[in-house]
Structure 1
Amino acid sequence: MTNLFTIILCFVLASGQAQKLVKVINQPNIIYINVDDLGWMDTETYGSKFYETPNISRLAKEGMLFTNGYASAANCAPSRACLISGQNTPRHGIYTVGNSDRGNAKTRKLIPIENTEILADENITITEMLKKAGYVTGTFGKWHLGNDPKTQGFDVNIGGAHNGNPGAGGYFSPYNLEHIDDNKKGENLTDRLTQEAISFIKTNQEKQFFVYLPYYAVHTPLSTTSELERKYTEKGGDSLQNKAIYAGMIETVDKNIGLILDAIDHLKLKNTLIVFTSDNGGIRDISSQHPLRAGKGSYYEGGIRVPYIMFWKEVIKPGTVSNSPITNLDFYPTFMDILNLEMPEKILDGTSILPILKGKNLKNRSLYFHFPIYLQAYNSKTDDARDPLFRTRPGSVIIDGDWKLHHYFEDDKVELYNLKTDLGERNNLAEIHSKKASTLLKKLDAWRKKINAPIPRELNPKFNPNVQSK
């Protein structure tokens, strides 16, 4: 009888241990690092000769680097809304920051679709999904989707409100932000957010945690220490990348990523998934993304192609490179896949990339972008956009394999590029490959109808073609 009891007890204990093991494997800690306005070419990891980013390179060496990663929108708020909601822009209606009728009214042929500025609370966010699975959640930095991310599932919020940037002088304490207290005068904001995140990790190391670390850096206003500015001024750059203040901001971000990696190692949190990326392309007038065309606000590659590096010691083979196209819409379903969690009523527009992390391939799929509004130019000489007045005019984009098609609503024009042979989108092949262009336009139109994407059709009575021609 005693032996039987011992066998049963051992079985029960073993089952408990097995369940605990399954939970550990299926519930990694998650750290999502989102650098604001960091371009595809703004790290040495992706080829820059000017910026110094050894810790980001360390992350890539220990994890997986993606060469074809995209933000779901070309500017801050819509990209973040897509990540947090798991839904493409037509579903949440956030297309830009503030008003949608940007630029001179006389140069806009159409009345743009009205913009939504706040992510609706009824939208079940990626954070609320993780809380459902038992995660403790914290955000440290830019929110930009409302006044307080704690209404969207975060237990802790440091520095997040509706602000899009920290304001003049805001990268050094005293800060111009809500939900963050001033400590030492002159403290760097990026340093502070990192220390708050590390403190949160230490406090919750015995639990499953989700850390959302959306740095305000490297968004304008550009600001760094005099020491770093002097370092990069003396180093010099080239005609494409040469701004010492911007380089100093990037180095500060990189230093703090190193601190996060060190903290994870020190605490022996082996089952930790780290995502490193940007919310959109870099500002072309600050840092060129050559060979990509244009930058933030444009739907050429420079505005939407961004760095992605993922680290997960238990799963991802170190030093791997993936050419599979991904978007930040994919992380909501990916995290659900990892957790084996089902939410049948939640509409998601991305695809789980867990197979990629395990060394497998995804089936071919198309990526879609919809932007039915206007964004005025930063600098007509350096933007490298479609015209000198706007970074982009209203339109949609589809990426399908090597092919990319732009469709602009004002003139109903299409542009077709083969990204394999023309990554810079210089040679419009719409006429030469008219059949391919027609096929992709039909596919894009079917997607727009399926997702109920609004298309601006009302003519702007203030439009003056003579002003535009000048």
Structure 2
Amino acid sequence: MDAKKFIFSMLFLLIGCAHSFGKQKQEAKQPPNILFILIDDLGWKDVGYMGSCFYETPHIDQLANDGVVFTNAYAPAANCAPSRACIMSGQYPSRHGIYTVGSSERGRAEDRKLIPIPNTTTLADSIITLAETLQKAGYQTAHIGKWHLGDDPCQQGFNLNIAGSHEGHPKSYFSPYKNPKLEDGPEGEYLTDRLTSEAIHFLKENAPHKTGRPFFLYLPYFTVHTPLQGKEASIEKYRHKEDCEGQNHAVYAAMVESADQNVGRLMEALTEFGIRENTLVIFFSDNGGISKFSSQNPLRAGKGSYYEGGIREPLIVSWPAQFPGGKTIDVPVSGIDFYPTLMEAAGISQDVKPILDGESLLPLVKDGKKLERKALYWHFPIYLQAYDPQKDQSRDPLFRTRPGSAMRLGKWKLHEYFENGALELYNLNEDLGETDNLAEKYPRKTKQLHSLLKQWREETKAPVPSELNPQYVPK
């Protein structure tokens, strides 16, 4: 190559690099695209990067490697509808009134000492949802998957709805789906694959360079909720895999694997469409795994319980344009934090906002700053019947949850039960399985936390059941 050609080549390269750098810098200043992946009933230990030695999740593990991992992330409630209501409202259940799915009078009437607080099943129109806030800020909003908070998510801030209704689980994971909000695909098509295909189509058509606006894609998969139905080839593979630490359900494992494969498809699509860098990706689960299907050891219990196994979740946050991956954060965070986090990411003023109980995680992620709050709280003035008394690891064999509240302050976790005023105190640093109740051993600490818990209930107007059930039969 002669000198003149070499000089022109170098100039071309420098101009290209400058253009690329300028474009990246410009994109970084733009509001991010948001992809919120919510898996249903996925337990804290149901993915490889959190320690599972049975389930195979290489794509989720790669996302964890590329993003920020939270090891003390919590669902704001222990089952589907209330947890999702908290994410969409940014509020604790005591404010929006959704405590469970259906009736709060679960289990046999003669086993319930108190009349539980009535449950709300639809997120009120008066609540300004996360989707409405982002939509008002100019985001193209889409919901694809399980809504569970009303008849139509388009009534609460979404421009597009695919598959979302009041239904909490699919009638079938294989087409025909019998879902009025989702057209059937070819016979035998798998629901998790189909929802991902719909999501990829949305990503392709709504890339900011095409529309001139960012997008918010809320992708709450139905999987791994019952009915347990997986692809036969994957099921067969796990049937021949050795059990590992209480995880051995082949069909459940096949469903986890399908979820993982589709996370991989999504990440590939973001890269292919040139929008990965400035897309903020959240990977989360709505509540703990079901104990009879998948052990969360060393965590105690599972879905429906307010012991750690029922509320601690896998959480990954990734935004390459703003912060590097490969970081682990042990600070306790909650699903109520997503609303203020995404508001800040989108550049939406915090001065004009609805009541939010959460706190933005961006200062923590980007700069290592401490959160302002001291404690996290849970309130469940309801009953939830047992799934499997031998595997639930509940306080008693009849219920996963009896009416009460709970809180976490640092290493300490306090449970209060309204039927008899019982208190349980655990040091999670030393007893992650919540087996050693320290309430009597540390009465001052118990009193301190109980006082904070009661104060929080007053501030949020959390209703406490007190009326005795005339049908109750003491045992």
Band the TM-score falls in, shorter-chain normalisation: over 0.9
The answer to whether the 8 Å contact 2:245/2:297 transfers is no
Residue from 183, 192, 199 that aligns with 2:194: 192
1:160–1:178 Cα contact (<8 Å) kept: no
1:37-436 to 2 correspondences below 5 Å: 37-167=41-171, 170-206=172-208, 207-238=213-244, 240-269=246-275, 270-342=277-349, 344=352, 346-363=354-371, 365-436=374-445
Residues in 1 aligned to 2:279 and 2:57: alpha-carbon distance in whole angstroms: 22
Residue identity matched to 1:309: I
* Structure 2 contact 31–347 (Cα < 8 Å) conserved: no
Distance 1:361 1:20, change over 3 A: closer
Tell me the amino acid that sits aligned with residue 344 of structure 1. Answer: V
Letter in 1 for 2:355: I
2:17 corresponds to which residue? Answer: none
Q: Tell me whether 231-240 or 101-110 shows the greater mean CA deviation.
A: 231-240
Q: Secondary structure at the match of 1:307?
A: strand
Q: In the aligned structure 1, how far is the partner of 2:319 from the partner of 2:227?
A: 34
Deviation at 1:176, TM superposition (A): 2.2
SS state at 2:377 partner: strand
1:451 aligned to 450, 460, 467, which one? Answer: 460
Contact 1:376 1:391 in 2 (8 A): yes
Aligned-pair identity (%): 53
Offset of residue 21 of structure 1: 6.1
Whether the aligned pair in 1 keeps the contact of 2:46 and 2:294 (CA below 8 Å) is: yes
1:318 Cα deviation after fit: 1.5
> SS of 1:68's equivalent?
strand
CA contact (8 A) 2:162 2:181 kept: yes
Which residue identity does 1:243 align to in structure 2? H
CA distance in 2, matches of 1:325, 1:454: 25
Mean Cα displacement is larger for which, 312-321 or 256-265? Answer: 312-321
Instruction: Tell me the amino acid that sits aligned with residue 271 of structure 1.
Output: N
Counterpart for residue 11 of structure 1: none
Q: CA deviation at 1:152?
A: 0.5
1:53 & 1:103 partners in 2: Cα distance? Answer: 36
What CA deviation, in whole Å up to 9, does each residue of 1:5-35 have, x standing for no partner?
Answer: xxxxxxxxxxxxx999677525100000000
Report if aligned partners of 1:324, 1:361 keep a CA contact under 8 Å in 2: no
The match for 1:14 is none
Q: Deviations over 1:88-141 (max 9, x none)?
A: 101110000000000011111000000000001121000000011110011110
8 A contact 1:140–1:214 mirrored in 2 = yes
Question: TM-score of the superposition, structure 1-length normalised?
Answer: 0.93
Deviation at 1:45, TM superposition (A): 1.1
| 8 Å CA contact 1:26, 1:338 repeated in 2 | no
User: For structure 2, which runs of at least 5 residues remain unmatched after alignment?
Assistant: 1-21
- The size of the alignment, in residue pairs, is 448
Aligned letter for 1:28? P
Q: 1:6 aligns to what?
A: none
Write out per-residue CA displacement over residues 178-229 of structure 1, whole angstroms, 9 at most, x where no aligned residue. 2110121110000000010110011010230001010000000100111111
Residues 145 and 161, structure 1, Cα contact 8 Å, conserved in 2: yes
The farther-off stretch of 269-278 and 23-32 is: 23-32
- Amino acid aligned to 1:103: G
Secondary structure in structure 1 of the residue aligned to 2:313: coil
Please, which runs of 5 or more residues in structure 1 have no aligned partner?
Answer: 1-17
Are 1:82 and 1:329, in contact at CA under 8 Å, matched by a contact in 2? yes
Q: How far apart in 1 are the matches of 2:293 and 2:393?
A: 13
Q: Aligned partners of 1:20, 1:313: CA distance in 2, in Å?
A: 11
TM-aligned CA deviation for residue 357 of structure 1: 2.0
